[in-house]
Amino acid sequence: MAAYRKALISFIDILGFRQIVGSRNCDEISIALKTMRKFSEGDDSGEEFNARVIQFSDSIIRIRPLDSKTNEDGGYGALFHELLDIGMMQGDLANNNIYIRGGVTIGDISYESGNIFGPGFIRAYDLESKIANYPRIVVDRKIFDAMKIDKRLYSSHNDLDDEIGYIARELKRGSDGIHFIDYLGVTLNNIDEPHIGGYSFLKQHKTNILGNIKSTSELDGETGKYLWAAMYHNQFLDSEIEKNEDTLELWITEEELPLLETVLDPLV
């Protein structure tokens, strides 16, 4: 008998998948799709530590039921680990010039016997398709409200304020007031040899963005998402990296991307 379960639900979509299929070989596409599942290797039933992942074409649904076996003896930090996994995945994909958009929410969902439905699923889909707009994973405000009354969302080893502090480090807040996963920060905080690997990662991130926009001077839907990525890139550097002669080349300049001159207000 089908029944709803309360869960963290993430809906994630690869942007420009049609163009990716048309421009990359089968192996590259396969690696990208596997990357979207890599943080659920091993047990992916959703009953243990990893999220339950259901993939179809260029989209995935990630489900962490709050009544899972792992949560029976106290919360393991479901929200923190979901944001961490997605941030690492997003950074990995961006490093390979693949960008994703999505939403994370909490709600009721049923996903047994191959059927996926429920208000939580619809909310996650709406966040991805109607709210995110740019290559970002937005986090539903209702999750933070739920944390105040449901201890299964955070680690039993932390009090609520401490857990919120840890989660805040994984997020940025856009000028539209919407929180999204800070995948650059998450990646750099978890990368091997951050002083070396982090520099290379940020340099590649810049190269990929400029390569996608190329020399266009017109702002449209396709270039808009990369312009957002460029502004996020620069604003991350402004807040986290000291600008000096050794790091200056990491910033995207108006000479390299003239479209930056046309944007008066931050997009992120």
- Could you tell me the CA-to-CA distances from 257 to 93, 134, 151, 245, 253 in Å, in that order? 22, 18, 46, 20, 6
Task: Please give the residue range of the domain that contains residue 195.
Answer: 191-262
- The whole-number pLDDT of residue 235 equals 96
Distance of CA 52 to the CA centre of its chain: 17
In this structure, what is the dihedral angle of CA atoms 174, 37, 209, 222, given to the nearest 10 degrees?
-80
- The whole-number pLDDT of residue 22 equals 86
Q: Is residue 153 part of a domain?
A: yes
Residues of the chain with pLDDT under 50: 42, 215, 264
- The whole-number pLDDT of residue 107 equals 98
pTM of the model: 0.91
- The whole-number pLDDT of residue 42 equals 47
Q: What is the pLDDT of residues 222-245, one digit of tens each?
A: 788 999 999 999 999 999 999 999
- The whole-number pLDDT of residue 195 equals 66
* CA nearest neighbour of 237 among 246, 131, 216, 219: 246
Q: Are residues 198 and 161 in the same domain?
A: no
Q: Are residues 200 and 111 in the same domain?
A: no
Q: Which two tokens stand for residue 252?
A: 């995207």
The domain spanning residue 123 has which CATH number?
3.30.70.1230
